[in-house]
Amino acid sequence: MEALKGAFISGKIKEQVQNMLEGLSGYVPTLAIVRVGEKPDDVSYERGAIKKMDAFGLKVRSYAFDENISDEDFKKEFAKINEDSQIDGILMLRPLPKQICEKDIEKMINPAKDLDGISPENIAKVFAGDNTGFAPCTAEAVIEVLKGYEIPMKGSNVTVVGRSMVVGKPLSMLFVKENATVTICHTKTADLKAECKRAQILVAAAGKAKMLDGSYVGKDAVVIDVGINVDENGKLCGDVDYESLEEIASKATPVPGGVGAVTTAVLAKHLVQAAVRRGM
């Protein structure tokens, strides 16, 4: 089984970013990362994103707010960030604390700066197959991995396990755009194992540690693991039991070192695209 390494794809995206930057005549795009509270997952993701932007030669401003900030106060602060002409793109770390109405923020964010595809306008464009909208970075990262390793999607049977608006649903639409035949599975799927087993490309995006093992995978299938979980030993793992795929799958993404490394590279690409579209 071949390991589909995220670093390889990230390198390819970095080349695309450098080419786009050359057209900006020395202008360096700036990303705003907005975080509420100190959740370890959010802090870790922010750290990784800053590191990636730095490696790609891009600027970052971090905005961290107290987890108890009121809905009204947060919206005032977010409006300032949203309207700042020196910021080209925004990454909002979610979910937000329960006192903040996340739907309102999704409607507030400027679609042109919405790099992770949370605004209704960008989501609508993704579902319409319109390239001018930003797709959620993780969903697009899956497509980048498959394209980067030249794994054909056209005409392939694809099964996506997970139906969130962060990955499952938008990713399914991106697959349809690539002319794949897509099945979306979830907790209510009658025979999940059978649906997964007939997939030529299987994507695990359910958010449950080692939910799928080799018995869910068809011979020579390609397995893309989007999950980032912590196992019983405190180690990072995906939604798939990677070791159990060895004699079954033809290719698979490891966790860590797979899709996650590509997600922040896609974020960097979106940031530069946003700056290009602004005419900077």
Residue 202 phi/psi, 5° resolution?
Answer: -115, 125
CA distance 17 to 103: 31
Specify the CATH class of 137-257 in words.
Answer: alpha beta
Backbone φ and ψ of 247, nearest 5°: -95, 5
Q: What pLDDT is recorded for position 200?
A: 98
Question: 100: helix, coil or strand?
Answer: coil
- Give Cβ neighbours of residue 11 (< 8 Å, ≥ 6 apart): none
CB 236 within 8 A of CB 209: no
pLDDT digits (tens, 9 = 90+) for 193-225: 999 999 999 999 999 999 999 999 999 999 999
Helix axes 40-55, 259-278, angle to 10 degrees: 60
For residue 60, name the pLDDT band (cuts at 50, 70, 90): very high
pLDDT tens digits, one per residue of 101-130: 999 999 999 999 999 999 999 999 999 999
Q: Please give the model's pTM, rounded to 2 decimal places.
A: 0.96
**133 and 125 in contact (C-beta within 8 Å)?**
yes
Q: Return the closest-CA partner of residue 45 out of 89, 117, 13, 93.
A: 93
Q: CATH number for the 16-114 domain, one of 1.10.10.10, 3.30.70.260, 3.40.50.10860, 3.40.630.30?
A: 3.40.50.10860
3-state helix, strand, coil in the chain (%, to 5): 40, 15, 40
- Cα 233 to Cα 229: distance, rounded to the nearest angstrom: 11
pLDDT at 232: 82
What pLDDT was estimated at residue 41? 87
Domain boundaries, the chain: 16-114, 137-257
Cα 16 from chain centre: 18
Q: Which residues pair with 61 in a beta bridge?
A: 32
- Which of 220, 216, 275 shows the shortest CA–CA distance to 240? 216
Grade residue 135 by pLDDT with cuts at 50, 70 and 90: very high
Cα 252 to Cα 166: distance, rounded to the nearest angstrom: 21
Instruction: Count other C-beta atoms under 10 Å from residue 151's C-beta.
Output: 16
